[in-house]
Structure 1
Amino acid sequence: MNQIDYYCIVVYLISLLGLGMRAKKNKKAFFSPLFFIWTGTYFFIYTFLLEVMIGTYYFLIPLAFLGLFLLVYSLEKRLLINGLLFNLFLLSLGILMLIVYLETRDQLLLFLLEIVVTGLTMLLFFGSYGLITFLYWNAMVVFKKESHSLSNLLTFLLAVGLTALLGFYSYFSLSLPLWGAALFSSVLLVIGYFFIVLYNFLTISILYQYNQPKYQQDYIIVLGSGLINGNQVPPLLGKRIEKAIQFYHEQLKQTSKAPLLLMSGGQGTDESLPESEAMKLFAIEKGIPEADILVETESRNTLENMTFSKKIMDQHSDNKEYQAIFSTNNYHLFRAGIFARMAHLKADGIGAKTAFYFLPNAFLREFIAIVMMKKRRHVIVSALIISGMIVLSYLLYRYM
């Protein structure tokens, strides 16, 4: 590395130290969105300056994807395409760094690229085995700590499926004739397609986690998730209520205006009272005045949570403009936002933390639900992939 590269690294490290001191002062995690935003911005500017020196303008491509992402995200956060746009920005940024390195042979860019390539290489060679091992481990933990319902066995079922696929690929695919390999590849391509959909979903889900509504809300909708023993709030639902209560106190502290908590949840066949009533009692025990709590007792799912809550807020505010957010668990945040949009409710969410061991199953469940929302589209894409590979397999069988 030349002297300028060392200066750039020193400036970057000093800036990180400043961010760390700021995070500690504000009692926030060091690896906050600001850390990643600043790191990306810093090295993007560095790459841009290198391009200025060599007189090229490749930086406009990732800049265009970033601008498009920010535009669409600012207009509507609750769109899956936002994940795709952000990943296209990251991909084009990586390609930009590679092109600029090939043009300049800059050692700092080479160092960054080596880190990325090393990570991708390890992921390529060990990722599938590591993923399968993690899924089996997670399935064992969930099996010990949670009920043995189908929704809690998703990581185990995925691990078994990937094991079978990997075993077939390792022991049988190389012995297949060319046309058979092409036919088998259709399965891999469909899996690859759904992996891309999953990756985009996880990207926007994570980005949406960092959305921080302003402390100027009139209502906080707390989404129900079922009671235990017919009348008790389970820990998962309790976290949602506590997250809403936390926001309630923060807004009251900053603006002296308390939002109303709107508990949303109907009564199941195995419940002795509406879920929202149990949620109300839970909040009162936590110190929330009864006058600051509304209840919605008819809903049976998240879409109805949003739809019926909107009716109550419209009536309560005499159809005047109001500000509202919703509280749920972090893994459920993005899909709940989609349901809010479907209910024509302009509301973003705040997410309560969930135990790490529970997240893989929860996100898989959310992903399946997201896929089913657009199942026709995914069926068509999968059918086109399989049809194309069947045609290719036939041509290989016929002429080779």
Structure 2
Amino acid sequence: MFFAYAAIFFLLIFLVLYVWDRRRISNGIFLTLGLFSGLLFILYWAFAATASSRSDILQVLVTGLLILLVLLIPFFFFGIIIGLIMNGRTMMRKESRRLANLLPMFLGILFLGLFIWGIAQGLVIGGSPILWLCYFFVLLVISYFTFFFVTFLVSTFIYQYNFPRYHQDFIIVLGSGLIGDKVPPLLASRLDKAMDFYYKQEKKTGKKASFVVSGGKGADELISEASAMRKYLVSKGIPEAYILMEDKSINTLQNMKFSKEKMDTIMDSYRSIFVTNNFHLFRASLYARKAGLKSQGIGSKTALYYMPSALIREFIGIVMMYKFVHLFIVGFLFFVFAVLVFMQLL
């Protein structure tokens, strides 16, 4: 019953925090812990029921299912490796050879290297305790960040189901880079999503929201992202009077801060939403909260092949947001590792 109580406890904490504020990484942590505890309870209950059952058929089915799941683990592991490497090749072909686009390939190669390291250490090096400690330390650190990555995916997934009400005063559209002075498809999808919300709100309530296009000028861009976005919206029939430009920001946090300053000068009290791509939605919500902006987000769709690279980059961004927490935890693990190595040397 311990796992059942743990599942209920973690899920209740998740519900309270989610209702309080959806823009928290802790929401995903508690939901992940609750779901994992629930899964352990179901497995424990299934095996307990099987052990007490007199049905040979039931025992054979449960045992067979367990063996099948164990046998599928290697296929799942190597499937992830192959999928990541192939996705990296796809990104090179369809996008460019920028480092960010090659992250899935590098991650797949890293997992493959760890597997080869473990096999080689067992077959060739043998039983060196210190080298095994090094190997398990690396695995432990990777396991920690894997758990955090799962919580990030869970948080990102549940935040997709965010449906702001049609009573907004402002729609913030976050920039994402230009091709010269043109709006690329990724940014166009954000603007189209914003216009879709704009027209739906006008149809349902008669209220017109103002757009806040947010993004400065990059080194390889001819004009600011805000200027290009404004031109795109005007070309689609949005009146210029309903478009505000924020053209100084160079990152998502500044997008939120500077857009808030723009809106604060117009109204003392207002309602706003922000628009970005679905993979960026959750991290952007964390920055909105950090900037003191009471705004939820809606996400535009992204090409499926682009998602692995984008999610890995988003994860790295969130890790950096909480870098001191992660440094403390990894530092503690390293301290334990160093103590164990010292004991082996004595």
Match of 1:190 in 2: 141
For residues 64 and 224 of structure 2, the distance between their equivalents in structure 1, rounded to whole angstroms, comes to: 54
Consecutive unaligned residues of structure 1, counting only runs of 5 or more, are: 1-55
Structure 1: which 4+ aligned runs deviate by more than 4 Å? 56-60, 102-107, 109-120
Match of 2:230 in 1: 280
Match of 2:340 in 1: 392
Q: Work out whether residues 3 and 40 of structure 2, in 8 Å CA contact, stay in contact via their aligned partners in 1.
A: no
Match of 1:266 in 2: 216
Q: TM-score, normalised by structure 1?
A: 0.79
Does 2:26 match 1:78? Answer: no
Q: Work out whether residues 187 and 386 of structure 1, in 8 Å CA contact, stay in contact via their aligned partners in 2.
A: no
**Secondary structure of the equivalent of 2:245?**
strand
Q: Work out whether residues 168 and 209 of structure 2, in 8 Å CA contact, stay in contact via their aligned partners in 1.
A: yes
Deviation sequence 1:150-201 (CA, Å, 0-9, x none):
1111112112222221111112245232332123211111111111111111
Match of 1:87 in 2: 32
Q: Quote how far apart the aligned CAs of 1:271 are.
A: 2.9
Match of 1:96 in 2: 41
Q: Which amino acid aligns with 1:235?
A: P
**Secondary structure of the equivalent of 1:322?**
coil
Does 2:177 match 1:177? Answer: no
Match of 1:203 in 2: 154
Q: Work out whether residues 220 and 326 of structure 1, in 8 Å CA contact, stay in contact via their aligned partners in 2.
A: yes
Distance 1:205 1:120, change over 3 A: farther
For residues 161 and 98 of structure 1, the distance between their equivalents in structure 2, rounded to whole angstroms, comes to: 32
Does 2:277 match 1:329? Answer: yes
RMSD: 2.5
Q: Work out whether residues 249 and 258 of structure 2, in 8 Å CA contact, stay in contact via their aligned partners in 1.
A: yes
Q: Work out whether residues 85 and 106 of structure 2, in 8 Å CA contact, stay in contact via their aligned partners in 1.
A: no
Deviation sequence 1:313-365 (CA, Å, 0-9, x none):
11111x1x211110001111111111111110011111111111111111111
Q: Work out whether residues 183 and 390 of structure 1, in 8 Å CA contact, stay in contact via their aligned partners in 2.
A: no
Q: Work out whether residues 262 and 296 of structure 1, in 8 Å CA contact, stay in contact via their aligned partners in 2.
A: yes
For residues 185 and 58 of structure 1, the distance between their equivalents in structure 2, rounded to whole angstroms, comes to: 27
Q: Work out whether residues 216 and 250 of structure 2, in 8 Å CA contact, stay in contact via their aligned partners in 1.
A: yes
**Secondary structure of the equivalent of 1:172?**
helix
Q: Which amino acid aligns with 2:78?
A: Y
Distance 1:58 1:365, change over 3 A: closer
For residues 259 and 129 of structure 2, the distance between their equivalents in structure 1, rounded to whole angstroms, comes to: 58
Q: Work out whether residues 216 and 251 of structure 1, in 8 Å CA contact, stay in contact via their aligned partners in 2.
A: yes
Q: Quote how far apart the aligned CAs of 1:110 are.
A: 9.0
**Secondary structure of the equivalent of 2:117?**
helix
Distance 1:243 1:185, change over 3 A: same
Match of 1:378 in 2: 326
Residue number among 208, 213, 221 corresponding to 2:172 in the alignment:
221
Correspondence list, 1:110-129, <5 A: 121=70, 124-129=73-78
For residues 171 and 209 of structure 1, the distance between their equivalents in structure 2, rounded to whole angstroms, comes to: 43
Distance 1:310 1:113, change over 3 A: farther
For residues 3 and 122 of structure 2, the distance between their equivalents in structure 1, rounded to whole angstroms, comes to: 41
Q: Quote how far apart the aligned CAs of 1:383 are.
A: 2.0
Figure out how many residues of one structure are paired with residues of the other and give that number: 339
Between 135-144 and 377-386, the greater mean CA deviation after superposition: 377-386
Deviation sequence 1:107-143 (CA, Å, 0-9, x none):
9x99998899578535532222111100111011000
Correspondence list, 1:37-52, <5 A: none
Deviation sequence 1:235-268 (CA, Å, 0-9, x none):
1110110111111111112112121111111223
Distance 1:116 1:196, change over 3 A: farther
For residues 64 and 186 of structure 1, the distance between their equivalents in structure 2, rounded to whole angstroms, comes to: 31
Q: Quote how far apart the aligned CAs of 1:67 are.
A: 1.4
For residues 265 and 278 of structure 2, the distance between their equivalents in structure 1, rounded to whole angstroms, comes to: 29
Between 258-267 and 132-141, the greater mean CA deviation after superposition: 258-267
Q: Percent identity?
A: 40
For residues 172 and 64 of structure 2, the distance between their equivalents in structure 1, rounded to whole angstroms, comes to: 44
For residues 299 and 60 of structure 2, the distance between their equivalents in structure 1, rounded to whole angstroms, comes to: 37
**Secondary structure of the equivalent of 2:293?**
coil
